[in-house]
Structure 1
Amino acid sequence: MLEVFICEDDEAQRKKMVKYVSDYITMENLDMKIVMATPNSEDILEYLRNNRVTGLYFLDVDLKEEKSGIALGAEIREYDTYGAIVFVTTHPELTYLTFTYKVEAMDYITKDQFTDIRQRVIECINTANQRYVMNKHDNLKIFQVKSGDKMISVPYGEIMFFETSPQLHKIILHTKNRQVEFYGKLKDILERDTRFYRCHNSFVVNKDNIMEVDFGKREIRMKNGQICYASSRFMKGLKGIVQD
């Protein structure tokens, strides 16, 4: 389900936004819900620290607190990498700050007499919902895991392999261009997706990203050049994967 968050410090504006969103979700019977409508940025961040979220965020830029809506958007990106962020403001001249904070926004809605805010909100809902539905397909499926106080989202296609960490009860996720350490068990990883294969007691590999297997050295070279190791116990299964 796509979760919707509204951060607006003007109560009247917040109620309007809630009505626009809830009415359209109900009318179109969308797989979405408003999780939170709040004047406080910290409410949203606290929720993201404790929940795996794919969200649509409507953020007032000029919040009556030390943190701006754009700064909030930058922090949201740390927890929900692929969420859709929409900035709503009476100050269109502040759009340049999205580049300063490196926040990729889906839209920037100006609260003035010339803007049909309701229609713009509906357009954002439709776009975010279409992206969400696409991401549910296997090729764009998202793997989410909590690392420290951050929720990390990684497309399955970018996962190379998992290995047990020297730290007890932890796993290291190797992606296309980074590593993430988190608490977990390899047997639970195997249940997440059929493309994962147990190639060693300490390794689970993404079959789709295997480039080649050196059966003599029992090494698996991934598409990004990383090396994953295999044990004799699992070599037969690997041969079947490579031949396919």
Structure 2
Amino acid sequence: MKVFISDDLEKHRLWLTEVITAQLDDLQFDYQLASVWQPDDVLQAVQASSGPNLYFLDIVLKQTTNGIELASKIWDYDPDGFIVYVTVRDDMMPATLSAMTTPTGFISKVDMFDKAKFVPRVRKVLQVIKKRLLTLQQAPEPTLTLKSGALLLKLRLRDIVYCEKVHGLRTSRIVTTNQAYLVHKNLSTIKTQLTGCHFFNDFQSYALNLDCIVTVNFNKGVVTMTNGDRLTFSRGTIKKLRAYYQTQE
């Protein structure tokens, strides 16, 4: 686990680093402190790491990207990461919710530099994260397991970009982040296992990993996936995906 502390005020950043690392050590976290704090550098480092990581972000960064925008981009690469906002702007908490970046913790900078008051806030958040990490480590990784002829396939659900029915055959194609598999299974059978992650199964001939959707053009019925594939649907079919997103607003 990498720990990022992103605050553009050096005095604040150094003090936060001292307090946070002391509590991480005391709670026996296995972590590596990241040396970068600027948004672009943080995102570059996140893309190169496996996660889940821990991020302490100041909301009002005097950069081209603020803390809320940074959190949203972080979750594109580290959806299981832990976001903790550390800021004087308590009034911006509603904005973090509307931006779909609900944090694990929200620590006010009021009483900053007063360890007697500030340290317990940091420790409380870290204790919650510690419990969640233990739960994640104990929970089995959701997988898709299929036997097709001599092929025994076991794939992590988060690695599956989409599945599609091969028309005219009792066959399906499973597309992952780095490979595609042709299996002699009905798509409906495969869909019964696509429940542990964020899958959209309402299309008759496709199952889409919602976390792997990059763009949706509802007018043209085109869905672009993270692996670059462009999937085309009729207007009647794409309405089902539009209806799903409307329920999430």
Normalising by structure 1, what TM-score? 0.60
The counterpart of 1:202, out of the listed 175, 182, 192, is 182
Instruction: Tell me the equivalent position of 2:43.
Output: 45
Which position in structure 1 is the counterpart of 2:93? 95
Q: Distance in 2 between matches of 1:24 and 1:51?
A: 23
Write the letter of the residue equivalent to 1:60.
Answer: D
Q: Tell whether the 8 Å contact from 2:52 to 2:81 is kept in structure 1 after alignment.
A: yes
Aligned: 1:65 with 2:72 = no
Q: Distance in 1 between matches of 2:25 and 2:130?
A: 14
1:227–1:42 distance in 2 versus 1, CA, 3 Å: same
Preserved CA contact (<8 Å) 1:25 1:33:
no
Counterpart pick for 1:183 among 166, 178, 183: 178
Deviation of 1:96 after TM superposition, in Å, equals 1.7
How big is the shift at 1:36?
Answer: 3.5
Name the structure 1 match of 2:135: 134
Aligned-residue identity in percent? 21
In 2: Cα distance, 1:160 partner to 1:42 partner: 38
User: Structure 2 unaligned runs (5+)?
Assistant: 149-158, 164-173, 195-200, 207-249
After TM superposition, list the pairs within 5 Å mapping 1:1-244 onto structure 2.
2-38=1-37, 40-113=38-111, 116-139=117-140, 141=141, 156=142, 159=144, 173-174=161-162, 181-184=176-179, 202-203=182-183, 219=186, 221-222=189-190, 223=192
Q: SS of the residue aligned with 2:32?
A: strand
What do residues 159-208 of structure 1 show as CA deviations (whole Å, max 9, x unaligned)? Answer: 577x9xxxxxxx85448xxx874225x8xxxxxxxxxxxxxx734xxxxx
Computed over aligned residues only, the root mean square deviation of the Cα atoms, in angstroms, reads: 3.3
Contact 2:6 2:57 in 1 (8 A): yes
Change (3 A) 1:91 1:160: farther
Shift of the 36–128 alpha-carbon distance from structure 1 to 2, 3 Å rule, reads: farther
Amino acid at match of 1:119: P
Structure with higher RCO (Cα < 8 A, 6+ apart): 1
CA contact (8 A) 1:74 1:101 kept: yes
Question: The residue matched to 1:108 in structure 2 has which SS?
Answer: strand
Structure 1, unaligned stretches of length 5 or more? 142-155, 164-170, 187-200, 204-216, 229-244
| 1:93 partner letter | D
Alpha-carbon distance in structure 2 between the residues aligned to 1:131 and 1:180: 30
Q: Distance in 1 between matches of 2:75 and 2:7?
A: 18
Change (3 A) 1:131 1:48: same
**Count of aligned pairs:** 172
